[in-house]
Every structure is written in C-alpha cells, then in structure tokens.
C-alpha cells in the first residue's frame, strides 16, 4: 500500500508520582535489590496511587504532546489510545481523552490492545488512516497501570512492572518528508498463553452462584524470554532490511524496556555501541505500552538522542505481539 508521508510533530510522557524501589519491595516480598537488578536491570518503578490511573496519566501525556506541538484539542481529528489496563472499558480511554482535551465534535477516538507493542501498532493504524485521506492529525496515547493488575504476592511477576504513559502526534507531512520509514508489526496468538490477564466477569446469578474473579497478570517469564530473544531481533532486522537500510544506518535503538538482558542480547546481535542503545528500565521498570515512547521522549529531552537522526523503536508483549518502526527525528523535535 502507498502511504502518505507523515510528520512526527511532538512527543509526551507522564508517570505517577510515587516511586517504589527494589528495597521497598523487600517489605512485602521475599526478594532483594540484588536479584531484581541482576535479572532485570530494574532499580525502581513509578506506581499509581490515590486518584491516579491509566486515564489520568494518559491525559497528562496527551496534553504534554499538544503543548510541545503548539496545538490544541480542536486541531486533532483522530485519537488512538493503546492500553491493556483501561480505567473504563467504556467510555473508551480515547473518548475520555477527547473530552479532557476538548477535541472537536466528531473526532474519531478508539482504544486498541496490543500490550507492550501498543504504540507501534497505533503508529501503523494512524499512518494507514491518515493515508486514507480522511484524517489530518492523530494523537496517539499509550498508557498502562499494570500495578493495579499484578499479583503482589507473585514475586516473579510484580517486580517487573511500573506505570506510565507516552504520547505522539502524527500529521500528514506538510513538506513531503516522511518521518516513518518502515513499520513491521506481528502477532502469534498460539503463544498467547505465556502472558494472560482474564476479564471473566461473572455469570448471571440465576445460572450459577457468584464466583471470585482472577483478574491478575499471569506470566511464564522463561517462555516469554525464549520467544522474544529470537522474534525481536528478527523483527528489527526485517524492518531494517526491507527498506534497504543496514544496521549501521540507524543512529539509535529504542527498545521496549522489559528486561536489560533482552536488550543486551539485541544490542549484541546488531553490534551497536552503548551510546546507540537507549535504556531507562532502571528508573521505570516495564511500563507496558508506554515504554518505548517514554524512553524516546526522555532520551531526546536529556540529549542522549541528538536530532536530526534515525531511530528504530521495537517492542513485544502479550498476545504475543511484537514489532518495530524506523523513524526520522527532525531537528528540534521534543
């Protein structure tokens, strides 16, 4: 399919204010800073408290991208929220964001679920919808508060996650330069059993007595690890090769921040130096769909990513889903 050139206008991010360190977790779990750090690279994570939820931080991230792009809600005609932990199933997170930013009547808004690959899926969907000619400018918001759904007694899972939101505004490129060079997205439902979170609901009491719910994240970490260390590098390589580039043509790798050992394996396969690989897992843990966007936005803010440059974002998550996108970062984007 021929796609319309897209400009990446601006980025945003938000995390809850409360920070929980590995040492804090030892108060409720049989774990240690040493175990978590050596197995994952995580030192702390931000955790929602009080009124904070995936919608409130999603709205914060959305407003930041609008402000950075010198835009208002009325300038957006498409909103896609990528979330696996919506505050409400309905209204959708995207519709509530439309309300919060005062989007104009008729702005199309919907949620998608692709777990940690959500932002990359949202970019592909937005690019296709802008290419249809019906939409000019899309606000993408990836937001998750996995802390509300993990089992805090399961030390092999709960220590891995943090809460966060990231956002990106895409528009039909006004100068014809295309900032999205290539996207590769994938899913394999047969592997879905490795990370699950059921939303069973309960049957009508006339057909059976009420039962407890088990709406908690369950993960077979070893199987996810094995699956990802082959699929992720393959996706990154395919994405690079299919558009005629070589790994050395990419200035920065911005991987999903799930486990430092997975990132290291990817870095070695691509033969990239440390300066080319963006990591912030030590500060945030795995923020699910928000992860790549937070890493990208923060690295630009902190000057770790210089512009203009070319970056590849890659992610994997429940589903299983995985994907990569090669983007151009214009001078001065933030």
User: What residues line the site for ligand ACO (CB under 6 A)?
Assistant: 31, 35-36, 39-40, 115-116, 155-156, 159, 195, 219, 221-222, 224-225, 258-259, 286, 288, 317-318
Q: Please, which residue, 231 or 297, has the CB nearer to ligand ACO? A: 231
Name the minimum Å distance from CB 155 to ligand ACO: 4
User: Whose CA is closest to 233, among 257, 271, 269, 286?
Assistant: 269
Q: Please, which residue, 156 or 309, has the CB nearer to ligand ACO? A: 156
Whether residue 242 lies in the annotated active site: no
User: Whose CA is closest to 58, among 135, 19, 108, 111?
Assistant: 111
Name the minimum Å distance from CB 187 to ligand ACO: 12
Q: How many CA atoms lie within 13 A of 234 on its CB side?
A: 9
Angle, CA 308 vertex, CA 306 and CA 312 arms, to 5° = 80
Whether residue 46 lies in the annotated active site: no
Q: Please, which residue, 259 or 279, has the CB nearer to ligand ACO? A: 259
Burial label for 224, CB within 10 Å (0-12, 13-18, 19+), is: buried
The rounded distance, in Å, linking the Cα atoms of 66 and 63 is 5
Name the minimum Å distance from CB 158 to ligand ACO: 8
Q: What distance lies between CA 207 and its chain's CA centroid?
A: 40
Catalytic residue among 46, 85, 95, 116: 116
The tokens for 139 are 């606000």
The rounded distance, in Å, linking the Cα atoms of 318 and 195 is 5
Q: Which residues of 61-74 are buried (b: 16+ CB within 10 A; e: fewer)?
A: bbbbbbebbebebe
Name the minimum Å distance from CB 232 to ligand ACO: 10
Catalytic residue among 22, 53, 259, 286: 286
* Residue that has been written with the tokens 């996207």 in this structure: 183
Catalytic residue among 85, 95, 239, 256: 256
The tokens for 215 are 């709406």
Q: Please, which residue, 155 or 330, has the CB nearer to ligand ACO? A: 155
Q: Please, which residue, 4 or 83, has the CB nearer to ligand ACO? A: 83
Name the minimum Å distance from CB 256 to ligand ACO: 7
Q: Please, which residue, 44 or 288, has the CB nearer to ligand ACO? A: 288
Name the minimum Å distance from CB 247 to ligand ACO: 23
Q: Are 63 and 303 in contact (CB under 8 A)?
A: no
140: alpha, beta or left, given left = phi > 0 and alpha = psi -120 to 50?
beta
Residues with a catalytic annotation lie at 116, 256, 286
């Amino acid at each position: 399919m021929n796609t319309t050139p897209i400009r990446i206008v601006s980025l945003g991010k938000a995390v809850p204010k409360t920070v929980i360190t590995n040492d804090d977790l030892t108060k409720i779990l049989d774990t240690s800073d040493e175990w978590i750090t050596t197995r994952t690279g995580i030192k702390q994570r931000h955790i929602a408290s009080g009124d904070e939820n995936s919608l409130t931080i999603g709205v914060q991230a959305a407003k930041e991208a609008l402000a950075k792009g010198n835009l208002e809600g009325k300038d957006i005609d498409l909103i896609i929220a990528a979330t696996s932990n919506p505050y409400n199933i309905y209204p959708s997170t995207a519709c509530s964001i439309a309300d919060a930013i005062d989007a104009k009547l008729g702005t199309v808004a919907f949620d998608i679920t692709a777990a940690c690959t959500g932002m990359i899926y949202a970019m592909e969907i937005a690019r296709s919808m802008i290419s249809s000619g019906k939409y000019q400018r899309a606000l993408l918001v990836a937001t998750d508060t996995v802390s509300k759904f993990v089992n805090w007694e399961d030390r092999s899972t709960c220590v891995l996650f943090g809460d966060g939101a990231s956002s990106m505004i895409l528009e039909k490129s006004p100068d014809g330069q295309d900032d999205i060079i290539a996207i590769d997205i994938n899913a394999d439902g047969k592997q879905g059993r490795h990370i699950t979170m059921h939303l069973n609901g309960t049957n009508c009491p006339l057909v059976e007595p009420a039962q407890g719910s088990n709406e908690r994240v369950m993960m077979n970490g070893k199987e996810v690890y094995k699956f990802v260390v082959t699929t992720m590098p393959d996706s990154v390589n395919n994405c690079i090769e299919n558009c005629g580039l070589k790994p050395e043509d990419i200035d920065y790798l911005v991987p999903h921040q799930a486990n430092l050992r997975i990132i290291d394996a990817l870095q070695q396969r691509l033969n990239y130096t440390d300066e080319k690989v963006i990591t912030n897992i030590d500060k945030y843990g795995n923020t699910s769909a928000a992860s790549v966007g937070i890493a990208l936005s923060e690295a630009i803010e902190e000057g770790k990513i210089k512009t203009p440059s070319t970056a590849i974002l890659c992610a994997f998550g429940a589903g299983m889903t995985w994907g990569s996108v090669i983007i151009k970062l214009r001078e001065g984007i933030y």
